Amino acid sequence: MFNTSNYHQILRELAPQQATLVAVSKLKSIEDILSAYQEGLRDFGENYVQELCSKQLELPHDIRWHFIGHLQSNKVKYIAPFVHLIQGVDSIKLLKEINKQATRNNRIIKCLLQVHIATEETKFGFNEEEILQINPSLYPHINICGVMGMASYSNDTTLVKNEFLYLKSLYDRLKTTHQEISILSMGMSGDYKIAISVGSNMVRIGSLIFGNR
């Protein structure tokens, strides 16, 4: 169920930073998404390709769909016609495939590069050195407009804050040489307050507004 009061609370917290809320609606029903839509939300995040495609067909066409998790290259073609922002591009192979499918669809697709900032081995993403080596001009149908990261799943707020600070500094550094860079996507239900306190301008929040999955 969509939690209207949590939603409004989060909006008040994001306003001073002018941060964008992406409502993570994976595994949530069409009805729940429509309730959120009626409250004014337009940015929704999904991380299963099939689910995203079927929801896109059923729901209003002014929704901006974000793909937020690990995306397999062979599935890019299904979302390329409509996806608003692919958050979490984590390999060169994927960049190449997105560029190819964007070209086929005569689109420029916006993407964020995922940076590995957590201590856990399992989280996807580039490291700093790899990010700095990426040459955007090789992907003319992609607009690399920022970075995304997931902090460690931990109660250690100092650790989480330091991971976010690290990504913020990398973002600032990229901005000096690439003027299209404008999105710093970090923060989820459990850690978004820390993320916005250090400069996040896009948070991806699911359970806090839609309940547990």
Ligand X SMILES: *Cc1c(COP(=O)(O)O)cnc(C)c1O
Show the binding pattern over residues 1-40: x = contacts ligand X (CB under 6 A), - = does not: -----------------------x-x--------------
65 DSSP 8-state letter? E
68 lies in the site for ligand X, by CB under 6 A:
yes
The answer to whether the beta carbons of residues 2 and 32 sit under 8 Å apart is yes
Residue from 6, 91, 152, 189 touching ligand X (CB under 6 A): that is 189
CA distance 7 to 5: 5
- Minimum distance of ligand X from residue 169's CB (angstroms): 21
CA nearest to 170, candidates 146, 152, 194, 206: 146
- Minimum distance of ligand X from residue 25's CB (angstroms): 10
- Minimum distance of ligand X from residue 51's CB (angstroms): 12
In the chain the first and final C-alpha atoms are separated, in Å, by 10
- Minimum distance of ligand X from residue 151's CB (angstroms): 11
Residue from 52, 113, 131, 188 touching ligand X (CB under 6 A): that is 188
CA distance 28 to 182: 29
125 lies in the site for ligand X, by CB under 6 A:
no
CA distance 213 to 206: 9
Residue nearest to ligand X (CB): 206
| Total interface residues for ligand X by CB under 6 A | 13
The answer to whether the beta carbons of residues 117 and 93 sit under 8 Å apart is no
Site for ligand X, rule CB under 6 A: 24, 26, 47, 68-69, 188-190, 204-208
